[in-house]
Amino acid sequence: MFMILAEVVTSTMITRFAVFGSAAAGAWWLLDFMSNKKPRAEQRLEDIREPNSRQGDLLMRDKGSMGAVGKAISKATPALSKPLQPKTSEEISKTRDRLNQAGFRTENAPEMYWSLKIVGLIGGFLIGGGAIAFTRGLDIDSLTYIGMIAGVAFFLPEVVLWFLTKRRQDSIFYSLPDALDLMVVCVESGLGLDQAMRKVAEEMKKSYRIIADEFSLCNLQLQMGRARNEVLHDLGARTGVDDLKALAAILIQADKFGSSIAQALRVQSDSMRTRRSQLAEEKAAKTAVKLIFPLVLFIFPAIFIVLVGPAAITMVNELLPSMHVE
């Protein structure tokens, strides 16, 4: 009797705590997001008043955009990330490179990433435990399901990071030929490479924001006194895009040997545009093969029912009774 009562009380408390915690966290995040978001008119006025203000804010974007939720997680980040923090600097460097490719460049980005995995594990355990306890009760199978939900929530930041990295790299890949064409025009009109990169960043920040931010960061590093070779090498390394790495290598070689930068940019732009067309043709050729699965699974059964259904009903109504007549 006491064991059954304790089980019911425990499941009820877990459910209530899970529901209350989820609702409180969602309401806190929503209110914080709405309070920190500026109107579009105010943002446009700031862009007109200070057009170059974005270049100085690239390295501090994530920190400046954090609200109360982000600050609370940032304060708890060292303690939460300590169980998952690697022991070697190579593993930390690999994690930082993955985060840089996704666009997270702050100093505490790796610790925030590891702390989010811990938060996902705890949140998955509480929310999943509350839902399972409310629907099934507490037994061995429920504990198994709770562990599976907690494991999925633990690996969820890795999936989100992969998705953000892939989307960012695709955006850079598809926007790079247009950026190179504009850079060729700027170089052939008499501008230097640094001025051409700055012009590309200013002109493409509305249409292709990601690559404009990358070039803006390069301009910022050049203004801080870094060598052009190092800046171009970092441009290819932090994005993870092979075409951008090849572009950086070509520009470094052209700067080193004194060859024509405009010609190198034009050749690279033509090759990238040809590759993009080939990829589009490849995807178009794969369409017929990919359509087989929805045709077989969804369309063919419906056509079969529509065509054969009336004949089958007629056979059942007329032939079967005549077969049973003596």
What is the model's pLDDT at position 17?
A: 59
User: Could you tell me the residue ranges of all domains in the chain?
Assistant: 2-33+67-169, 173-288
Radius of gyration of the chain (CA): 29
C-alpha distance across the termini of the chain, in Å:
68
User: What is residue 78's predicted lDDT score, i.e. its pLDDT?
Assistant: 67
* Mean pLDDT for all residues in the chain: 75
Q: How confident is the model at residue 3 (pLDDT cuts 50, 70, 90)?
A: very low
pTM score over 0.75: no
Statement: residue 226 has pLDDT above 80: yes
- pLDDT tens for residues 138-154? 777 777 888 888 888 88
pLDDT at 9: 44
Tens digit of each residue's pLDDT (9 = 90 or more) over 40-97? 566 666 655 554 444 444 444 444 444 555 566 666 666 666 677 777 778 888 888 8
